[in-house]
Structures are given as C-alpha cells and as structure tokens.
Chains A and B, each alone.
Chain A
C-alpha cells in the first residue's frame, strides 16, 4: 500500500532562516515517483520537483534543495534563506509506476509560516 507521511503539521520560522520539511513514504513498488507541491493561500497546487526512484542524486534549484534517500524512504525538502513568500502548505506526493492510473497519494501537508 502507498502512504506518505509528513510528520510536521506546522512550522514557523523567521525570515532568512533555513527550514527543512520532512517526507517519509511507503511503497512496495521498485519504480515510483516522488513530488513536492506548494499550495499558497490562493489554493492552486504549484509543482516544485519530481524524482524517480532510480535517481537518488540530490537536487538544488535556487534556494530550494531536495534530499532523496531510499534507504530511509525519505524525500526531504529544504528552503535556504526563507522568505515571507515561501509561506504556504507544502505537500509531498507519491505515484507508483505499477498503479494503472498513476494517481498521486499525497501526504497531509506541512504548513510553513515565514515571519518577517
């Protein structure tokens, strides 16, 4: 069965602090895909990153970086030098290749508040 856990319900940081959002997943498939989405107050889900299960290379994109570790089934997301505009709910999601429709299973989300 697929499951995504985001243990941090809410995080508050002061602007310019670094913050890491945790994501732990469960799957029986050997081929799967992991995603992070941002949901600002406007409500629309914004795609941030996609990772497949065969690519454990960490990725950096500007202030964002991702740490994928299959050994611990984790796909953590770090924002460096946070800004007020980063305030949003962040969702981690899993999609299994052998799942016919490849629908997403989302975690419950982590609400990030960046205070000025």
Chain B
C-alpha cells in the first residue's frame, strides 16, 4: 500500500494525558499537512511542512500541540495535557508539488477520544 498511513487509527485517553500520532506520507512527497475534523464539520487546517521545515501553523494549534517532521519523511503530532475539546479526527495529507494545483492525498485519520 503506497498511500498515506496514520497510526494509531483510534486512541482513547483520559483528560490530562499526552498523546502522539504518526503520519507516513507517500514517498517523496515533500509537503505534509495536518488537519483536524470534528463531528459534522469539514477538516480544518492545523499545520504544514515542506520537507522538515514547519512553515505554517493555524491559530487552532495551541501551545499544547506540537508537530515534527525530523527527517522530512514521517511526521508526528503530539497533544499535551489533552482536553475533552481535543476529541476529533486528526487527518494527515501529503502533496508532491512545490507549486501548482497541489492535490493532497489524505490518510485514514486518527480518531481521538478524550474522556
């Protein structure tokens, strides 16, 4: 399978715990995006990497959120001191283009439930 993969697919945690999600983009895609989707809504942009550089962050990304892409390949998204409002689907997407129409390929998502 050469698509975008995300792990874990589901995560249940207690409020106050830290969680980390992983995204493996399609090989050689230099752009990687994280989105958050809450129930009944469209995905909302969180952050964007070009290779290993995190170039853009949404205001949705509070101080409790951090994302890395250390070698320009896979990426991790960590949420510290989780809150119930963090419950959502976290989607990762990758794109091969430096410019142009930027088709994004999405992974299956990680569904986070904070109790």
Q: Write the residues of chain A forming the contact surface with B, with a CB cutoff of 8 angstroms.
A: 4, 33, 35, 37, 42-45, 47, 50, 52, 91, 93, 95, 97, 100-109
Contact = CB atoms under 8 A, between A and B. Distances in A.
Contacts of B101: 33, 50, 52, 95
A69 to B, nearest CB: 19
Contact of A103 (B45, B89, B109): B45
Contact of B55 (A42, A43, A95, A100): A100
Contacts of B65: none
B97 to A, nearest CB: 8
Contacts of B43: 45, 91, 104, 106
B104 A101 contact: no
Given A50-B101, A91-B42, A43 B48 contact: no
A103 B60 CA distance: 14
A9 B55 CA distance: 33
14 contacts: A42-B108, A43-B108, A44-B106, A45-B93, A45-B106, A91-B42, A91-B43, A95-B102, A101-B31, A101-B48, A103-B56, A104-B45, A106-B43, A109-B41
A106 B56 contact: no
Sorting the interface of chain B by its residue count into under 10, 10 to 19, 20 to 34 or 35 or more gives 20 to 34
B95 to A, nearest CB: 8
B33 interface: yes
B28 interface: no
A57 to B, nearest CB: 15
Given A44-B106, A102-B102, A106-B43, 4 more contacts: A33-B101, A93-B42, A95-B102, A104-B45
Residue in A44, A91, A108, A109 with the greatest tally of chain B CB atoms within 10 Å: A44
Interface in B76-115: 89, 91, 93, 95, 99, 101-109, 111
Nearest to B4: A44
A101 B109 contact: no
